[in-house]
Structure 1
Amino acid sequence: MSELCAIGLMSGTSMDGIDLAVLRTDGENAVERGPSFFVPYEAAFRRRIEAGLEDAKRIDKRDERPGDLAALERNITLRHAEAVATFRAKLRDDARWGRSDLIGFHGQTVLHRPHVGLTVQLGDGPLLAGKTGLPVVYDMRANDMVHGGQGAPLVPAYHAALARALPAVASFPVVFVNIGGISNITFVPEKGDPVAFDTGPGNALIDRWVQREGGVPFDAGGAIASEGGVSRPVVERYLEKSFFKLPGPKSLDRNDFTLAEAEDLALADGARTLAAVSAEAILKSVKHLPQSPKLWIVCGGGRKNPHIVGDLREGAARLGAEVMLAEDAGLDGDATEAEAWAYLAVRALKGLPLTFPATTGCREAVSGGVIARADGLPGRSA
């Protein structure tokens, strides 16, 4: 099987919308990045997803959909189908990207309990395949858990391929930092498998804080935080939590950290302090890596918060490392995760590993995913 053209779909823990990206790859070392696209969720739908997180707390088995979750799953899937149709229409006249072979579909995570082997992403693969007319690879986390893994993070296989192809990477090891609702890192050595794990809260606590205290969905450009200061006692209370003492592999649910430690802060001080928590949690991860990295490449929405990035730069400099934004490395920091899902879909189709013992804790490198056929006939596990 030669190179395939795949569309990757990602709706992350920030719950702000759907990222789409197209990628041509052999699922191994060949990676050609194409255009990307974003479809935002309106505030009312985001609130519906947040309510779904509460319904999801009642799930004991992966196929359960209590409360509004069944209807929400269908609605999320149909929104993804509409997003794909719009994206493909934009690409229709592009000779290189106008024809796609398959879709990699992440879905919306509403529950992640790695300690009991339970992860739930809302997204109906067969429905999406039927609506788009393309094969869909979905549910890519479950097989990792069957083999003893945490089910996250899955992006490291793509990060490793990128690191070894980027002109900006002059020396190893390099670390990719993805700051979404939750932050995670991928340590890429010059040779061998990547090492990866979640590092702590990314934007999720900041978003919740400014929404609750200021009535806005997120701190755009760190504007609110720019008027505040860092409360060191609050930062230390967060960083003393047991999660940070655990070695990787490890992963988080969006609700594993709360605003309890920040309760007495003013709006701006809380936003600035929680940005410091995000950055220092990432820096604290170095003690769990095989080597101190020489280069940090920052992706995800959190790279747009100058306070997170500034704190990260200062801390990395003390460790003798450079911090580079995704764009400075020749990447699109908003599209990296969607690109990864396209890449992983091709790997899944070929039966190549999606996860490794050093990224999720699985017993052995394993593939995963379920393939839904566009003709509605039963697919297969990848």
Structure 2
Amino acid sequence: MVDRPGSQCAGRTCREAEPLSRLAFAHNGAPALPELLQSLGLMSGTSLDGVDAALIRTDGDAAVDHGPSRTEPYPDVLRSALRSVLGGVGPVAEVERAVTLFHADVARRLLDQGGIAVTDVDVVGFHGHTILHRPDQHRTWQIGDGALLARTLGIPVVNDFRSADVAAGGEGAPLVPAYHRALAGALDRPVAILNLGGVGNVTWIGGRDAEEQILAFDTGPGNALIDDWMLRRTGRPFDRDGALALDGRIDAGAVATFLDHPYFARRPPKSLDRDDFAALAARLTAGMAPADGAAPLTAITVAAVRAAARHLPAPPTRWLVCGGGRQNGAIMQGLAAALMAPVEPVDMLGWNGDALEAEAFAYLAVRSLRGMALTWPGTTGVARPLAGGRLHRPA
């Protein structure tokens, strides 16, 4: 399914977000939002590495002015606590509060870094951290207390971006394609933007204006399986530059068996939980030396993207890679060999490859305030363009 999205959604599925109390109102009581809002995005990805924060000014459509960004790694104790609640088990409420307050601290540090007053920020887009994603059961769970964050920062917060889509029958992921489309601007089409976080996802954009097309879905494992292997077998959180994988031997049989999983043949849109392939990966790498386990897991990430390319409506003219995976030399070398087009990190275009998802949630927060679509049939499989998000005002 390929979608041709407009900037606004229509019908009952597109609901107006609650207006910001501290923005001006027109005489008839309708919100008079400024053309550009300053929005702070916060993202905690499935790689469990930390929190990305970024500031942008945007109208939620084509206008995006980039501001400062920063990344704060999770303390080991908090990272371990997050791992303990994956799947929705354990002390979720306790971990949620700790994660929320850590996000607040990161946001404050970003504002201090940029010399920006709290009163100059119109809204915060707060993704939270996904601990469970089961769209086939109409369930998705991102921990993060939006009301607590709004009170702590003194800034309105939009969170809960995925629930409306999942409740309406969509996958609830990926959500970044709306922002990818805004960034793609004048790029030659079709173009593919590949995000390699814990899970990989691709946004394919073709055509222009009224004929613009968009298709997005999760490709398969990104960094999660590699990172988990590294932590178990070496005590290190990730394979820096892909060096260990490059020293290992790729078990082609293990890679082929992995790609036999029915997910890779399933037509998009489709999405994954971080740990959907954990048991399979553990079985296929059992007994392997550290390097010989890292090598096939890295090859699987590449092979999953190659399999995803078969689902695209037309071959991309280029692949633009963001997320932590773009810094893994073994992955990037593999993609360059596997894909029939140039493969480049998004940084080559002047985009911030580390902050792109945080910027995306800043952008989506503004779209939510304006009642604009966050998802489309071609991005999540939802029946029609759908708004989402929940607004929390500071007390």
Q: TM-score, normalised by structure 1?
A: 0.91
Matches within 5 A, 1:14-25: 14-25=47-58
How big is the alpha-carbon RMSD for the aligned residues of Structure 1 and Structure 2? 1.4
Q: Does residue 1:184 correspond to 2:207, yes or no? A: no
1:295 aligns with one of 309, 313, 318: 318
- 1: CA distance, partners of 2:167 / 2:176: 18
CA apart distance, 1:99: 2.4
Q: Deviations over 1:120-154 (max 9, x none)?
A: 00000010000101100000001111221011000
Q: Give the corresponding residue for 2:62.
A: 29
- 1: CA distance, partners of 2:112 / 2:316: 42
Q: Give the corresponding residue for 2:102.
A: 79
Is the contact between residue 207 and residue 213 of structure 2 (CA under 8 Å) also seen in structure 1?
Answer: no
1:9 aligns with one of 17, 23, 42: 42
CA apart distance, 1:202: 0.5
* Bigger RCO of structures 1 and 2 (CA < 8 A, at least 6 apart): 2
Is the contact between residue 106 and residue 139 of structure 1 (CA under 8 Å) also seen in structure 2?
Answer: yes
Q: Give the corresponding residue for 1:333.
A: 353
Matches within 5 A, 1:1-382: 1=33, 2-54=35-87, 56=88, 67-92=90-115, 99-165=120-186, 169=187, 171-191=188-208, 192-258=212-278, 259-316=282-339, 319=340, 321-374=341-394, 376=395
- 1: CA distance, partners of 2:236 / 2:286: 18
Name stretches of at least 5 consecutive residues in structure 2 with no aligned partner. Answer: 1-32
Is the contact between residue 123 and residue 157 of structure 2 (CA under 8 Å) also seen in structure 1?
Answer: yes
Is the contact between residue 21 and residue 338 of structure 1 (CA under 8 Å) also seen in structure 2?
Answer: yes
Sequence identity of aligned pairs in percent?
Answer: 46
- 2: CA distance, partners of 1:301 / 1:253: 18
What secondary structure does 2:67 align onto? strand
Q: Deviations over 1:64-96 (max 9, x none)?
A: xxx3100111111111111111111111269xx
CA apart distance, 1:3: 0.7
What secondary structure does 2:127 align onto? strand
- 2: CA distance, partners of 1:211 / 1:226: 17
CA apart distance, 1:44: 2.1
Is the contact between residue 193 and residue 356 of structure 1 (CA under 8 Å) also seen in structure 2?
Answer: no
Name stretches of at least 5 consecutive residues in structure 1 with no aligned partner. Answer: 58-66, 377-382
- 1: CA distance, partners of 2:154 / 2:68: 20
CA apart distance, 1:98: 8.7
- 1: CA distance, partners of 2:265 / 2:130: 25
The number of aligned residues is: 356
State the one-letter code of the partner of 2:216: A
State the one-letter code of the partner of 2:127: H
State the one-letter code of the partner of 2:123: L
- 2: CA distance, partners of 1:210 / 1:39: 21
Choose 116-125 or 271-280, whichever is displaced more: 271-280
Is the contact between residue 58 and residue 64 of structure 2 (CA under 8 Å) also seen in structure 1?
Answer: yes
- After superposition, the Cα gap between the structure-2 partners of 1:226 and 1:249, relative to the gap in structure 1 and judged at 3 Å, is same
Q: Give the corresponding residue for 2:18.
A: none
Q: Give the corresponding residue for 2:8.
A: none
Is the contact between residue 6 and residue 24 of structure 1 (CA under 8 Å) also seen in structure 2?
Answer: yes
- 2: CA distance, partners of 1:327 / 1:153: 21
Is the contact between residue 92 and residue 98 of structure 1 (CA under 8 Å) also seen in structure 2?
Answer: no
Q: Give the corresponding residue for 1:64.
A: none
Q: Give the corresponding residue for 2:11.
A: none
